[in-house]
Amino acid sequence: RAGEPIACKAAVAFAPREPLRIVDVVVAPPQAGEVRIKIAYNALCHTDAYTLGGHDSEGKFPCILGHEAAGTVESVGEGVTSCKAGDRVIPCYQAYCADIAKEPCAHCVHPKSNLCQAVRAYTGAGVMKNDGKPRFTLASDGSEIFHFMGTSTFSEYTVVHEVAVAQVGNDEAPLDKVCLLGCGVSTGWGAVHNTARVEEGSSVAVFGLGAVGLACVEAAVEAGATRIIAVDTNDEKEAVAREFGATDFVNPTKFGDKNSQTVIAEMTDGGVDYSFECVGNVNVMRSALECCRKGWGTSVIVGVAAAGTEISTRPFQLVTGRTWKGTAFGGYKSRIAVPKLVEKYMGGNTKLDRYITHRMKFDQINEAFELLHEGKCLRCVLSF
């Protein structure tokens, strides 16, 4: 079917705050520099819920959400050299162009950034770079459907830019597990190892114990942190946080007027060396900064906050030596890092399997969103 449009099922977000509708869509063939992928497995990340919830300033509707997935290349467009039909791949919302583009972007050649700009303007606008149009149309009336994050994996077939296709690499790697490496787990691991660079003996606080926060806990253990304070408003997260290696659990709603930064500063005699905000709430971001140790504490913003919100703190918090940072995809240069993360998983020394708390068929996708909202699931893997 290479070169031909493919009719298939997709979960379309027609409007914010409405359930997705599984409908027939037509997926155009990949143009130059594009790749059409048959998606095998999807996991839901909170960012999908955030955009569906109408909180994303870049959210465009109707669109096909989904950015944590794995599948097989169905066909490639003209000039594509880094993958071919049959390759097992993970779509990457965060692209990497240095080994593909004639003129790589400034970020891909810079050692300190993973924020490839090769196609960023187009993925933000929900279209493909070649012609500024989407590759999805509704089968019923031919109307266009926008892409999301350059991945749109909630479809049996999707078209992405070549710079957004990471090889799985290892033929034995199970796609129903390594699909998680397309976003949340990689992000938490990278936030700790690349963005904060947590050292042995450090104290750490992690706010928000979804898959992203737990991946921070897992990586903090790996980095040799000796005190790991897990913070969540949901008491049911305590057990899993301790299982991942947290030494303490704090529910910030249980301390009356005392805020969580004060509680954590008291627990640690002045604050933690590193903190990670994995909620997407600007008040929590402030707590995460202010629970860091005066003089050297570093806080990393991982959570994605709603459009229109802003962070604040007293500048004195920074004057007195705290550092406020953020991370996207954990700082990993995606297409280079993903096959290495797959190998790490295949080496057996990760908790990747443990993040998968639910499995469902693709047509149960709205139930999976409910579970995520209720705080009952870490990752739900959907199969076609």
Residue from 183, 214, 216, 284 touching Zn ion (CB under 5 A): that is 183
Instruction: List active site positions.
Output: 45-47, 67-68, 97, 105, 108, 116, 120, 183, 379
Residue from 278, 285, 341, 356 touching ligand NAD (CB under 6 A): that is 278
**Interface of this chain with ligand AHE, residues 333 to 372, rule: CB under 6 A:** none
Residue from 42, 114, 155, 187 touching ligand NAD (CB under 6 A): that is 187
Q: Which is nearer to ligand AHE, 29 or 369 (CB)?
A: 369
Q: Is 328 an interacting residue with respect to ligand AHE (CB under 6 A)? A: yes
Q: Is 113 an interacting residue with respect to ligand NAD (CB under 6 A)? A: no
Pairing of strands 203-207, 227-231: parallel
Q: Using the 8-state DSSP alphabet, how is residue 64 labeled? A: -
Q: Is 233 an interacting residue with respect to ligand NAD (CB under 6 A)? A: yes
- Binding-site partner at residue 57 among ligand NAD, ligand AHE, Zn ion, none, CB < 5 to 8 Å by type: ligand AHE
Residue from 304, 371, 377, 378 touching ligand AHE (CB under 6 A): that is 304
Q: Are 276 and 300 in contact (CB under 8 A)?
A: yes
Q: Which is nearer to ligand AHE, 48 or 290 (CB)?
A: 48
CB of 304 to Zn ion, least distance (A): 8
Q: How many other C-beta atoms are found inside a 10 Å radius of the C-beta of residue 345?
A: 21
**Interface of this chain with ligand NAD, residues 241 to 260, rule: CB under 6 A:** 252
Q: At 2, which amino acid appears?
A: A
Region near Zn ion per CB under 5 A, out of 6-14, 37-45, 99-107, 169-177: 37-45
Q: Which is nearer to ligand AHE, 56 or 218 (CB)?
A: 56
Q: How many other C-beta atoms are found inside a 10 Å radius of the C-beta of residue 131?
A: 11
Spatial separation of the C-alpha atoms in residues 373 and 79, rounded to whole Å: 42
DSSP bridge pairs for 70? 41
Spatial separation of the C-alpha atoms in residues 197 and 309, rounded to whole Å: 28
**Interface of this chain with ligand NAD, residues 283 to 322, rule: CB under 6 A:** 284, 302-304
Residue from 33, 71, 91, 184 touching ligand NAD (CB under 6 A): that is 184
Q: Are 287 and 207 in contact (CB under 8 A)?
A: yes
Residue from 38, 46, 55, 107 touching ligand NAD (CB under 6 A): that is 46
Q: Is 183 an interacting residue with respect to ligand AHE (CB under 6 A)? A: yes
Q: Are 147 and 126 in contact (CB under 8 A)?
A: yes
Instruction: Give how many residues touch ligand AHE by CB under 6 A.
Output: 12
Q: Is 47 an interacting residue with respect to ligand AHE (CB under 6 A)? A: yes
Q: Are 359 and 383 in contact (CB under 8 A)?
A: yes
Q: At 355, which amino acid appears?
A: Y
- CA distances for 344 relative to 225, 262, 329, 337, angstroms: 20, 37, 17, 10
Residue 282's nearest CA partner among 260, 301, 261 is 301
Q: Are 313 and 339 in contact (CB under 8 A)?
A: no
- CA distances for 82 relative to 79, 128, 167, 184, angstroms: 9, 18, 9, 25
At 175, phi and psi to the nearest 5? -65, -30
CB of 5 to ligand NAD, least distance (A): 32
Q: How far apart are the first and last CA of the chain?
A: 19
x/- letters, 114..133, toward ligand AHE (CB under 6 A): -x----x-------------
Spatial separation of the C-alpha atoms in residues 97 and 147, rounded to whole Å: 20
Q: Which is nearer to ligand AHE, 58 or 236 (CB)?
A: 58
Residue 194: helix, strand or coil by DSSP?
A: helix
- Binding-site partner at residue 271 among ligand NAD, Zn ion, ligand AHE, none, CB < 5 to 8 Å by type: none
Q: Does the bond joining 62 to the residue before it have cis omega, within 30 degrees of 0?
A: yes
Residue from 27, 45, 368, 382 touching ligand AHE (CB under 6 A): that is 45
Name the site residues for ligand AHE (rule: CB under 6 A).
45, 47, 56-58, 94, 115, 120, 183, 304, 328-329
Name the site residues for ligand NAD (rule: CB under 6 A).
45-47, 50, 183-184, 187, 207-213, 231-234, 237, 252, 278-281, 284, 302-304, 327-329, 372, 375
